[in-house]
A and B are shown apart, each in its own frame.
Chain A
Amino acid sequence: MAGLSICINTQTPLVQFLEPSDGVLVGADPRTSVVLEGLREGIDYRFSPGGVTRMVHPMVRRLLEKGVLREAHWVAFNPRGPRTVQMGEMTLHHVSIGTERMDGYGKVKEAIWGRIHEIDSAPQHDDLFWTEAFAEYAYYNRLTAEQIQRLDEEHDFDVFYVHDFQQLPVGHMLGTLKPKIFRWHIPFDVSVIPDHWRALLSTYLDSYDVIVVSARRYAASLAALGPRGRILQLPPYVDPAEYSRPAPREAAKSCARFGIQRADQLALVVGRMDPIKGQDRAIEAFRQIAAEFPSVKLVLVGNGSFSGSKQGLGLPKSAGWRAHLEELVRAAGLEDRVVFTGHVNQTELDALYERCWFTILPSVREGFGLVAVESWLHGKPTIVTRRSGIAELIQDGSNGLLFDPEDPDGLAQQMRLLLDRRSAELRSRLVRNGRSTSKKCSLDEAEAAEGALLAEVTEA
């Protein structure tokens, strides 16, 4: 097989361009093309955090290395990025919309996201697809489809792989008979989708040959909507090789930056600043146990999403949520016990995983929850919300601890279990079994599944 030519589409770009203190923003001119190799990571650019890009990038790299892919083009929203970025054998293409359209686009995607995650059931959103804001959402998706169409004329792709619910209309707008795969990363529960949304969602979903979801229950619920294409359940994945133990000196330096002492026991929460991530639940549970365990600190890692950043849509959600969390911490008198790190680089993240006692995934709803896999890869026990895709892989007390996000008392109880002096055996069991479970979400395991999927749709 000569290898496939693939076009990937995500909303979040793989690379975000930064405003360096010593020069001009590299991506300031959307007409330019740049080669990433000549730029400095952390100064000129950074890789987008978050599950989608973290998962897709290693897979594309691996499939290119193995010759399953011949070439890869990745189209994403990036209004502050150059037109194209050459990154080894992969080319990143950026779509940009005017600031006057960003507000409408952002409103629609947030409303869809809020409804799917069951945090926003405002009845006025039932008519979302008739609003003027939807016109901007359609504009962005059509613009993306047009860009992909132009690239297809040039490269004659074998397959299109579209990720993220924001991009769902792209498949329909492409108007091509070539195979199209859609990966739905967030939860899917057909019962929360308003009647007024179903026909359009079905039209869009019907344009894909395969729809990939992260959990069995999402697949079952999606089947009730009866899409034309096949539904495939495939857990998200990470590349274990990207997770390394930092040198002790490096770890100490990183922790010192956040005021973390050697004697501190850390409960770690990694996730962007967003109400859906449930950091408020973690703070409430921590408030309940703080006096019993005076050496414990709660560390909240994460910043806003790409949509909330000034490189993206500039939505104000994350700043407001962080202010709310800081207020909760103040009200509980825990200012010196709760650490907000903001965005951290990979070394700092590795250091915090290395130093933590356990991790918590407190999300109100979570499409999957790769943070738990990261925790296992770092050899740390994890407490996971039952309302996540990864909860399907967890047996309470065997490879993780589960709790209901509406029950902070339950979370506090699970935290007590892991902090108890007699918990050594439980901790070691959770780590051992967790590490074994993490293999189901590894790049090696997924490579075969993704390769088979590409072979199936292209009949290669």
Chain B
Amino acid sequence: MLTLVAFWNAFKPYLAFVVIVLLTVLVAWLVNGLVGRLMRQSAPQAAGAARRVAAIVVALIGGTLALQTLGISPAILLLVIGLLGVTVLVALREPLGNYGSKYFADLYTPFRVGDTIKVLGWSGKVLEVNAMSTILLSDDEQLVSVPNSAMIRDVVVNTSPQAWKEVVVPISISGNVDLPAFESDLHKSLSKLRFRLDRRFPPVVTTKSRTPQSTDLSLILMLRRPEDRESLVVEVNKRVAETLDRVRGAKR
């Protein structure tokens, strides 16, 4: 009997650890879904990032609590995480700034690869937007690398013809989504907005990159009136999210 009690006492913290980890996974999954729902009208990339951040926060809290059951002090754990975070931020301030700017530039700056832009006194065709910088080909065929942080801080002028019309919506879908069905449904959904769009330019879905886990697409639309831009982006993002939900649901 005594052996059983001793075993239970020894085993209890591990059981609690496992239960907390499982609960953490469950809560992270629920929070991920909840944030996704709350951000339905945001750009899919922004919604995806928010979902990941929320899930990581839940995982950190759950992980700390779980480790506490094993006798590891949460204060020390938080201190280590905090110090590591500060060190990383200080060491990688510039690259992280550029990376973050790239992320926001993808979502909110009004240009894309192929456009001609002016920034920091440079003018050229955008060849590439990588994690750190935006590469321009200047008129005299020089390659110009502009840090992405400049795209957020400074004035960027898109001089491409009809640039004001163009709305580029980045879409990232996981590898298990039926892409043909998604694109087809999206066309149907967007056809309802045709009176807000320039009918000479139907929506174009382009594959940007692809891995077994996910496919990055860009959806290009052309506005009919410039003042519709903001509301249209919200509406299109909502329709993209709804279409993704529908296609995932149909697959299940």
State the A residues within 8 Å of B (CB): 101, 127, 129-132, 134-136, 138-140, 142-143, 146, 149, 172-175, 195-196, 198-200, 203
Contacts and interface: CB of A to CB of B under 8 A. Distances in A.
A451 to B, nearest CB: 31
A367 B16 CA distance: 75
Contacts of A131: 191
Given A139-B183, A139-B184, 17 more contacts: A130-B194, A138-B180, A138-B184, A138-B205, A139-B180, A142-B180, A142-B184, A149-B210, A172-B204, A174-B207, A175-B210, A196-B199, A196-B200, A199-B201, A199-B202, A200-B202, A203-B204
Contacts of B204: 172, 200, 203
A208 to B, nearest CB: 15
B187 A138 contact: yes
Q: Is chain A's interface secondary structure helix, strand, loop, or mixed overall?
A: helix
30 contacts: A101-B184, A127-B199, A129-B202, A130-B191, A130-B194, A130-B199, A130-B202, A132-B187, A134-B187, A134-B191, A135-B185, A135-B191, A138-B180, A138-B183, A138-B187, A138-B205, A139-B183, A139-B184, A142-B179, A143-B180, A146-B179, A175-B207, A175-B210, A196-B199, A196-B200, A198-B200, A199-B200, A199-B202, A200-B201, A200-B202
A373 B205 CA distance: 41
Contact of A175 (B181, B188, B208): B208
B130 interface: no
A173 B204 CA distance: 10
A190 to B, nearest CB: 15
B214 interface: no
B206 interface: yes
B169 to A, nearest CB: 16
Contacts, number: 59
Contacts of A101: 184
B249 to A, nearest CB: 17
A136 B208 CA distance: 22
Interface of B: 179-181, 183-185, 187-188, 191, 194, 199-202, 204-208, 210
A146 B207 CA distance: 11
B239 to A, nearest CB: 13
A226 to B, nearest CB: 14
Given A130-B191, A132-B191, A173-B207, A139 B199 contact: no
A138 B194 CA distance: 17
Contacts of B201: 199-200
A94 to B, nearest CB: 15
B184 A127 contact: no
9 closest A-B pairs by beta carbon, nearest first, are A175-B207, A139-B184, A129-B202, A135-B187, A142-B180, A143-B180, A135-B184, A135-B188, A130-B194
